[in-house]
Amino acid sequence: MSNKEALRELQLRLASRLQAAREQPREAGWLAVECGSAGLLLPLGQAGEIQSASVVTPVPHAVPWLAGVANVRGQLHAVLDLAVFLGLREPQPGAAPRTGGQLVVLNQSMRVNCALLIDRLAGLRDSEQLQRLPEGDTPRPAFAPRQWRGAQDRVWDELDLSALVHDPLFLDVAA
């Protein structure tokens, strides 16, 4: 099986699990993704579909974390390079657009045509698989309210995508 077929199969499995997860009431449910070296938890209710990031058109003179735009079901979506936005990876000015990765399209209910460019999908998580970490002394952004510990002592940062799209840095792209 080729890598492309394996990736497509993984996308289909995750899409069906996402749909099943949305239909089942849960205390909390997240799509686990990796950006740079960080593990991130995106709320299932705020995440939409997952697509390959193969067709992202760069936007000249944009903020460094705006990877470009992508056509998602006939609508243009801004593509936010999540690792660059969060400071996990340096932007590469003047370089060709980053290839690879996945797009997590924000749920339509958020009324923002935006997709997040991530490095890798890591599956689904719920509160039964994770232990909430106590709050530390370091202030956290409003869009990253808490941390969780999962299998193999992996620390995951929870992201509130609704708060993320209302963050002043995110809103700066519209100015």
Task: Measure the CA–CA gap between 6 and 2, rounded to whole angstroms.
Answer: 6
**Average of pLDDT values for 134-153?**
87
Per-residue burial over 141-161, b if 16 or more Cβ lie within 10 Å, else e, is eebbeebbebeeeeebbbbbb
Neighbours of 22 (CB within 10 A): 14
Position with higher pLDDT, 125 vs 9: 125
Does this model's pTM top 0.85?
no
Q: Give me the pLDDT at residue 56, please.
A: 87
